[in-house]
Chain A
Amino acid sequence: MAIIRDIMPAFELFQPANTDDALALVAKHGKDAWVMAGGLDTFDWLKDRIKRPKVVVDLSQVKELAGIRPWNGGLEIGAMTTLTDVVRHPVVREKFSILATGAEAAASPQIRNQGTLGGNVSQDARCWYYRGGWNCYRAGGNTCYADTPTAINREHAILNADRCVAVNPSDSAPALIALDAQMVIRSSKGERVLNAEDYFVGPDIDIMHMNVLRPGDLLTAIRIPAAWAGTHFYFEKVRDRNVWDFPLVNVASAAVFSGDRIERIRIAVNGVAARPLRLKQVEDAVTGKPRNEATAQLGGHLAIQGAEPLRYNGYKVPLLRNLVKRAIRGVEEPKWVS
């Protein structure tokens, strides 16, 4: 893909100042409107001329969509809150530190200063064939270029692939699923609230979208319930380089232990499928069991059930298994930070 260094093709720009104006704009322009949050995902598409929206609705001026407020003992985080603001928020750090860790693991400092939590969870797949403008399934075509005998696919899916083998690249998404967060979606027709794990869709449901948002919808807020506040968290992201990189695999878990026993636990992983996966089967299997190596082995083994690696991503199978093991039994050594 040649890198083009001149100015993006023209589009009509709207920068509404409040949510109602934003909703009216996305309702009016429907499919023609490209909703932009921080813009870090958007500009790659537009600069490469692969997506050519007629209208860009930039939410950066909608102040009411940014900010973190108390909500039912937990927090309501505006979708346009930057990752840096999430990471630095005292209540996030104190009670929901896994979200701070996940958000801090994303991208680079400058990107976190501008990229938003809503944008991070809603970003598109990073499959380089799709990003390169190939007419693949996800782009509306009828081929997957990443799943051919000669394809370079070391960063692609090992689970739940259906024609498309792209993965979801978000670092905050598994943390939100582990915290049992809710996504607040508004359109001009009203508001709906979904569990975080139901916000994402795989290619079996909709091969051209990563989440449930449709033209006219805006993700306005993310609610973190009090249920998992201050519990025992584990987050780990494995990637090729310390900064910028998307996860090869990441894992997030929230757990409550009573003595030696796992009383309740939520585990989510990302980078292995087209949507972040909540590992319900692992949660069910290890709940009530002692927190030890044997339980971790069981959980790790269950996590990789059904894994179908491609030519170059077989390493993700043991990686996923071991990360899930770590999330269950914890690690002794201090966590490695970039």
Chain B
Amino acid sequence: MEDVNHPEATPRKFTRRDVIKGVIAGGAVSSAGYLFRASTVGAQVSAPGSVDRLITLNVNGQQRRVDVMKQETLATTLRYKLGLTGTKLGCDRSECGCCTVLLDDVPHYSCSILTHTARDKKIVTIEGLATADGKLHPVQQGVIDEQGFQCAFCMSGFIMATVGYLKANPNPTRAELAHGISGNLCRCQDYDKILTAMMRGAELSRRA
């Protein structure tokens, strides 16, 4: 297959389209491997714990087929493979919180988890908060009401961390919420207004 990808090694009878089709079909076969695991053929080819390249992710309620490398982080997949650029990459070292997404309702740094690890989880990004008809999530509405952010690069991370925290504790005090979303940094040092906005979001969430 690798030889085929080099133009000079490609015999004339292969067109570019054939090659692409071949790659897609090959991927589909390998990703369907789980169907054959019980059979002797499947057991021979796949070592326990090996992972497929083509996987399906549940992102914002949709099943998204995606081709991921083994070393790829979820932030990379979301931003550069699925086009969900609302998730920001700040530090890429789990030190800033801009890349926070929800996995099964729990906030995680998407820069610091392999996409393969998120395979069986329900992923929610900032793009998945508003309803289909465009109605904003209460926490998003809280940000607009209170004008909580200055430059707002960190905003999607803060909102996801807050949404996740409110699922565990829907009625926090200001101090509890500050501790709950303390894994996010704002370089504009806008924390007071952010907390006000998030508290407003919590209040709107309870009313909704």
Q: Which residues of A contact B (CB under 8 A)?
A: 3, 5, 7-17, 21-22, 24-25, 39-40, 43-44, 46-47, 56-58, 60-61, 84, 107-111, 113-114, 242-244, 337-338
Contact = CB atoms under 8 A, between A and B. Distances in A.
Contact of A109 (B47, B92, B165): B165
B86 interface: no
Interface string B60-76: 00000000011111001
10 contacts: A14-B49, A21-B49, A22-B49, A39-B112, A43-B111, A43-B112, A61-B117, A108-B183, A114-B112, A114-B113
Interface stretch (B136-144, B174-182, B200-208): B174-182
Contacts of A243: 182-183
A58 B48 contact: no
B116 interface: yes
Interface string B164-193: 010000000000000111110000000000
A111 B108 CA distance: 7
B70 A11 contact: yes
Nearest to A28: B47
Nearest to A62: B49
A243 B184 CA distance: 9
Nearest to B182: A243
B149 interface: no
A283 to B, nearest CB: 33
Contacts of B165: 109
B176 to A, nearest CB: 10
A43 B157 CA distance: 20
Given A39-B117, A111-B94, A114-B113, 8 more contacts: A7-B69, A11-B70, A11-B71, A14-B47, A15-B117, A22-B49, A43-B112, A243-B182
B183 A109 contact: yes
Contact of B71 (A10, A44, A107): A10
B117 A109 contact: no
B76 A7 contact: yes
Given A21-B48, A47-B92, A110-B109, A7 B183 contact: no
Nearest to A12: B70
B108 A108 contact: no
B94 A40 contact: yes
A8 B111 CA distance: 11
Contacts of A22: 49
A10 B93 contact: no
A15 B182 CA distance: 31
Nearest to A243: B182
Most chain A CB within a 10 A radius of its CB, from B48, B93, B116: B48
Interface residues of B, number: 36
A334 B97 CA distance: 30
Contacts of B108: 110, 113-114
B123 interface: no
A10 B182 CA distance: 33
A8 to B, nearest CB: 4
B181 A109 contact: yes
Contacts of B129: none
B182 A7 contact: no
Contacts of B47: 14
Nearest to B76: A7
Contact of B93 (A3, A109, A110): A3
Most chain A CB within a 10 A radius of its CB, from B69, B71, B92, B116: B71
Contacts of A110: 94, 97, 100, 107-109, 161, 183
Contacts of B49: 14-17, 21-22, 25, 57, 61
B152 interface: no
A154 to B, nearest CB: 19
Contacts of B70: 10-13, 56
A142 B48 CA distance: 40
Contacts of B76: 7
Contacts of A10: 69-71
A9 B71 contact: yes
A91 B203 CA distance: 31
B54 interface: no
Contacts of A46: 71
Contacts of A57: 49
Contact of B48 (A13, A17, A84, A114): A17
Contacts of B72: 7
Contacts of A44: 93
A107 B108 CA distance: 13
Given A109-B161, A114-B108, A39 B183 contact: no
B15 interface: no
B48 A338 contact: no
Given A10-B71, A43-B94, A109-B165, A5 B179 contact: no
Contacts of B73: 7-8, 43
A46 B72 CA distance: 12
Most chain B CB within a 10 A radius of its CB, from A12, A24, A113: A113
Closest 6 CB pairs of A and B: A108-B183, A16-B49, A13-B70, A14-B49, A21-B48, A8-B71
